[in-house]
Structure 1
């Protein structure tokens, strides 16, 4: 484990714990620490990699879905950044189930996660953008220079990886962030994998980003791909910024997708409220793969489980109930404003 060297005589108000390392990257390491008595994440970078303009840009970021920079200071060797401390990072979500560092807490549905990250909607679990080695203020045209490019290179847009023909420095804009956002969405869909290749082969990822070849797109669940790929992901991952979707359009597309999912939630309730001759369990399983909200209720306050147990007598009823319970439906939900209890083959709803 890397040790933080003893500080020089200059007093540093950020107190870090060198043996509690949270992560490391190409430009620094992150440790647990305290600033003015509150727990923080302390990012430490070599002083020659610090940029006061970027620090000022980071300080101005004040948004519920962006990790807050509280304070920054330096000694003769390092710059120290006191950042908002989150419960877990995205990579902890996709660790193996027996890994003690795996995050097993609550998570919003994918569509709610994406809307949070795209527009700042805030629900019970709040997702936040972090790691702003590339943070810069844009000019009146919405662009910024990308000299001394920092950041994890396999998570940035292709235009930032290409040398310009006339030798001028490449410029980033808000659409560069849209591409990076699409990469994060893909990572969530792929349970931690990168859309453009194996995380163990960074050169392959860089090559595929430059060539516009998201090789792992086909690994995304077919139902989710049908819902997101053409309407959103492909538009976010356009290789040329001029044809790439804007951040405002991303939010609109996500809202449209959420409306489609609301329709599928209604379809689930309709399926559960009748004695359809169709494959009950197969259709329930298919709808659930769209990451719908199984706990969504109708105008009478009944969710799919209430309707299934009240109205359905399919021979596969018990299996259907098990599928809904395994999918996280609330068996204790109030039905129509009152507690509704019924025993079916050992299940109480």
Structure 2
């Protein structure tokens, strides 16, 4: 029924969404199925000034970040509208997430595993090339679009980085999801404000998170720092901090798997030793181009 839909500011391009069909929800935002000028879209409704002025700044940064991103493996922002209480980001409509796929709740079309990894790494490399760090790479933030295209989404925690080294200060402390934190992010927990202001990290934090995501994607739920099993909110961050990694556990990858060395390199505890996305993509593309007859050798 039309009564279930909400359409702010009729003078703007027509945006409608069904409040009874949420696609997802977060701390201060919900995503709904909707339409924009008659086309099916996802509508992210963000509560304005949810907590502090910092939240308003973060909301503005998400919008400004997405306006600057145009890549097949990055979720596209189509339009922005707002009213007194909410901001509305009109986004490409996707049909699932990597988290859904891993959990077995998504059975639609998917790229091959290696093509999926190439797409995710390509999207993240593009984000970094535009001088942004994502800060919350995880299975729920990689969306599945039809036909079989993966897109990095949710830029609510993103921020700008230096154009030379891709670094940024840890003034506001670590952000994101702890089981996907890099060790240098975990290191800043408990530091004073003054101490955090003296610490800089770089975009390799996203590479670490993506390496953990790759493992989760390939093993359908495992984590490199959970003894190959499912991540635990207490023990997994502790293992990350200590560098206790198991890739070839019971639910892990054999050492001769093409992605074993890639994931191992991406999840190095020392940032300077961590693989860069250029090397990740070079290795993945070389593997994808290998003759099928060689795969079994």
Structure 1: which 5+ residue stretches go unaligned? 97-101, 269-286, 291-349
Specify the alignment match of 1:88 in structure 2. 96
Specify the alignment match of 2:167 in structure 1. 143
CA distance in 1 between counterparts of 2:196 and 2:162 reads 17
Cα deviation, residue 178, structure 1: 1.0
Cα deviation, residue 144, structure 1: 2.9
1:241 correspondence with 2:271? yes
CA distance in 2 between counterparts of 1:39 and 1:123 reads 13
Specify the alignment match of 1:345 in structure 2. none
Specify the alignment match of 2:30 in structure 1. 29
1:254 correspondence with 2:284? yes
- Aligned to 1:86, the other structure's residue is in SS state coil
Query: Given the two structures, how large is their TM-score scaled by the length of structure 2?
Result: 0.72
Say if 1:27 and 1:151, in contact at 8 Å, map to a contact too: no
Say if 2:80 and 2:88, in contact at 8 Å, map to a contact too: yes
Correspondent of 2:238 among 203, 207, 214: 207
CA distance in 1 between counterparts of 2:68 and 2:103 reads 33
Specify the alignment match of 2:131 in structure 1. none
What is the number of residues matched between the two proteins?
258
1:106 correspondence with 2:109? yes
- Aligned to 1:133, the other structure's residue is in SS state coil
Shift of the 157–77 alpha-carbon distance from structure 1 to 2, 3 Å rule, reads: farther
Deviations 1:250-300 (A, max 9, x none): 1112123335xx24x2247xxxxxxxxxxxxxxxxxx4xx9xxxxxxxxxx
Deviations 1:154-185 (A, max 9, x none): 33322223226861345442212211211221
Cα deviation, residue 66, structure 1: 0.6
Shift of the 158–222 alpha-carbon distance from structure 1 to 2, 3 Å rule, reads: closer
CA distance in 2 between counterparts of 1:161 and 1:72 reads 34
Q: Which has the larger radius of gyration?
A: 1
Say if 2:61 and 2:158, in contact at 8 Å, map to a contact too: no
What is the root-mean-square deviation of aligned Cα atoms in Å? 3.5
Specify the alignment match of 1:116 in structure 2. 119
Say if 2:28 and 2:46, in contact at 8 Å, map to a contact too: yes
- Aligned to 1:117, the other structure's residue is in SS state helix
Correspondent of 1:66 among 53, 71, 74: 74
1:188 correspondence with 2:217? yes
Structure 2: which 5+ residue stretches go unaligned? 50-54, 127-144
Shift of the 19–127 alpha-carbon distance from structure 1 to 2, 3 Å rule, reads: same
Specify the alignment match of 2:86 in structure 1. 78
Between 1 and 2, higher relative CO (CA 8 Å, sep ≥ 6) is seen in 2
Structure number having the greater strand percentage: 2
Specify the alignment match of 1:46 in structure 2. 47
Shift of the 89–176 alpha-carbon distance from structure 1 to 2, 3 Å rule, reads: same
Deviations 1:214-271 (A, max 9, x none): 3565245544754322x21111001121111111111112123335xx24x2247xxx
Shift of the 87–54 alpha-carbon distance from structure 1 to 2, 3 Å rule, reads: closer
- Aligned to 1:187, the other structure's residue is in SS state helix
- Aligned to 1:116, the other structure's residue is in SS state helix
